[in-house]
Amino acid sequence: MALVIHLKKGGQVIVNGAVLENASSRPISLMIKNEAAILRGEDILAPEAAATPATRIYYALQCAYLFGDRRGDYLQDFFRLLDDYLQAAPSSLAIVAEIQAIIEPDNLYTALKKARALIEHEGKVLTHVQERLVEELQDDPAAR
């Protein structure tokens, strides 16, 4: 069964590691007729955007999915980063366990979708820490 991808002007898709961008002035459609590693624009994380622990995890997994010839290297980085994240944020255990369970059968695309939850978790943790620091500073007379 073929997959049809619709790209707006300037839209991007990555197919087996190749970045395809719609350079025309109108929307286009691409038909993928065989098995391929595909990421659409909204799911692509640029290397420079991998600036936090959770986004680095997502990026390593994204590379493992897209670049099969180096999958082992990227997965090694992914698991190391995931372990580090779990140690720093034990509250992520359920999400990490789900991601690890998905990767076992080598379903990296589904794991990528789940890794988005890790990025959301990180945002919540950082917001909570920031709120707690603000409260502590407001309660500490020496901080004024």
CB atoms within 10 A of CB 91: 11
Lowest mean pLDDT among 44-58, 74-88, 114-128: 114-128
Domain residues for the domain of 18 are 1-44
Instruction: Looking at the structure, tell me whether residues 49 and 39 fall in a common domain.
Output: no
Q: What average pLDDT does range 90-117 have in this prediction?
A: 91
Instruction: Looking at the structure, tell me whether residues 27 and 73 fall in a common domain.
Output: no
Instruction: Looking at the structure, tell me whether residues 49 and 38 fall in a common domain.
Output: no
Per cent of the chain over pLDDT 70 is 96
* 95 pLDDT above the threshold of 90: yes
* 51 pLDDT above the threshold of 70: yes
Instruction: Looking at the structure, tell me whether residues 51 and 40 fall in a common domain.
Output: no
Average pLDDT across the chain, whole number: 91
Instruction: Looking at the structure, tell me whether residues 54 and 40 fall in a common domain.
Output: no
pLDDT at residue 128, as a whole number: 75
Instruction: Looking at the structure, tell me whether residues 17 and 76 fall in a common domain.
Output: no
Instruction: Looking at the structure, tell me whether residues 70 and 55 fall in a common domain.
Output: yes
Instruction: Looking at the structure, tell me whether residues 31 and 76 fall in a common domain.
Output: no
Contacts of 123 (CB under 8 A, 6+ apart): none
Number of folded domains that form the chain: 2
Instruction: Looking at the structure, tell me whether residues 109 and 125 fall in a common domain.
Output: yes
Instruction: Looking at the structure, tell me whether residues 119 and 50 fall in a common domain.
Output: yes
CB atoms within 10 A of CB 117: 16
Instruction: Looking at the structure, tell me whether residues 6 and 60 fall in a common domain.
Output: no
**Tokens 């603000």, located at residue:** 134
The larger pLDDT score, comparing residue 48 to residue 137, is at: 48
Instruction: Looking at the structure, tell me whether residues 91 and 113 fall in a common domain.
Output: yes
Q: What average pLDDT does range 87-102 have in this prediction?
A: 94
Task: Answer whether 0.75 is exceeded by the pTM.
Answer: yes
pLDDT at residue 118, as a whole number: 95
The larger pLDDT score, comparing residue 133 to residue 26, is at: 26
* 130 pLDDT above the threshold of 80: no
pLDDT category of residue 136 using cuts at 50, 70 and 90: confident
pLDDT at residue 144, as a whole number: 56
